Amino acid sequence: MAIFMIDKVKKSFANGDVEEQVLKGINLSLDEGEITALVGPSGSGKSTLLTIAAGLQRASDGHVYFNGKNMTNMSQEQIRQIRASEFGFVFQSSHLVPFLTVEEQLMLMLTISDTKIKKQEQKVEVTKILKLVEMDHRRDSYPSSLSGGEKQRVAIARAIIHQPKMLFADEPTASLDSKRSKDVMKLIQDLTKRLNITTLMVTHDEEMLTYSDRVITMKDGLIV
């Protein structure tokens, strides 16, 4: 069943006097628990599509539906609420908060998301997720003392701690070596399947496609 739908989405940017159309009418639907990879050459519009889907920018035309609701008509505040409680993000760089420990990064996400998890159970949940990403032993460490792979594991843990319905990943393995990339992708695959999270991921790395259920190729602002 489709949990996420992108309907005739277009996006253009003004470049001086010229209007550049980056997305030229994209239709896409994502099924619950499915991992979809967006691939394509640079400038094909895959990152723009991901950020529109994630509610980080608005489409110039077309509609985005999440859970049957049209996000295009929502206010910034409504979109923020969805981002906080229903979406999870993994970026190319881990983007962890530098002054929070690993445990605090996850606790912060629980606070932001207004989770239904009771206060006393939050610590237990954090421990559970940290064990899943094998970072429980570094729970009191600050990001500055973690390796790239460890940071990305924490970023993944932060993205799923509040049990989102959607996970958006923008080149999650781009800053990692081949072995660590595979580990991280395995982790995303394992966790999203286990928690039934729908994933939309942008990647350049063809090796990572084996972890996806579906691969969508984009070129010049269109799905090919």
Partner 1 sequence: MNIAWKEIKKSKIRFLILGSIVFLVSFLTLIISGLSNGLSQDNAALIKDLPDGQFYMNEHANETYNLSRIDESTQETLVNEQKDAAALSIQMGFVNDADDKQHSVAFVTSTDSNLFEKVEIGEIVLDQSIEEDGIKVGDAVTNNQFGGEFIVKGFVDQKKYSHAPVAYINMENYQEIYGVKEMQLVFVPGQDNAQAIDGLQSFSNKEFLSTIPSYSAEQMSLNMIIWFLVVISGMLFAIFFYMMNVQKIGLYGILRALGVKTSRLFGMMWYQMFFITAIALTLSVALSQGFTMIAPEGMPFILTLEITIQLSIIFLIIGFIGATLSGFQIRKVEPLHAIQQGEI
8 lies in the site for partner 1, by CB under 8 A: no
Which residue stretch of 38-46, 109-117, 180-188, 195-203 sits at the interface with partner 1 (rule: CB under 8 A)?
109-117
174 binds partner 1 (CB under 8 A): no
Question: How far apart, in whole angstroms, are the C-alpha atoms of residue 143 and residue 197?
Answer: 26
Residue 186, burial from CB neighbour count under 10 angstroms (0-12, 13-18, 19+): exposed
Looking at beta carbons only, is 80 or 128 nearer to partner 1? Answer: 80
Strands 18-31 and 35-39: what pairing?
unpaired
Q: Which of 111, 145, 147, 178 is in the footprint of partner 1 by CB under 8 A?
A: 111
> Per DSSP, what are the bridge partners of residue 12?
21
Examine residue 147 and tell whether it contacts partner 1 (CB under 8 A): no
Measured distance between the N- and C-terminal CA atoms of the chain, rounded to whole angstroms: 23
15, β-bridge pairs: 18
> Closer CB to partner 1, residue 21 or residue 81?
81
60 binds partner 1 (CB under 8 A): no
Q: Which residues contact 52 (CB under 8 A, 6 or more apart)?
A: 6, 9, 11, 23, 58, 59, 64
Q: Which stretch binds partner 1 (CB under 8 A): 29-37, 61-69, 103-111, 183-191?
A: 103-111
Establish how many alpha carbons lie within 13 A of residue 2's alpha carbon, considering only the half-sphere containing its beta carbon: 13
Shortest Å distance, C-beta 53 to partner 1: 13
Q: Is 209 in the site for partner 1 (CB under 8 A)?
A: no
Closest distance between partner 1 and the C-beta of residue 99, in Å? 4
How far apart CA 164 and CA 87 sit, in angstroms, is 5
Of these, 37, 165, 170, 181, which contacts partner 1 (CB under 8 A)? 170
Residues at the site binding partner 1, with contacts judged by CB under 8 A: 51, 56-57, 80-81, 83-85, 87, 89, 91-100, 104, 107-109, 111-113, 142, 170
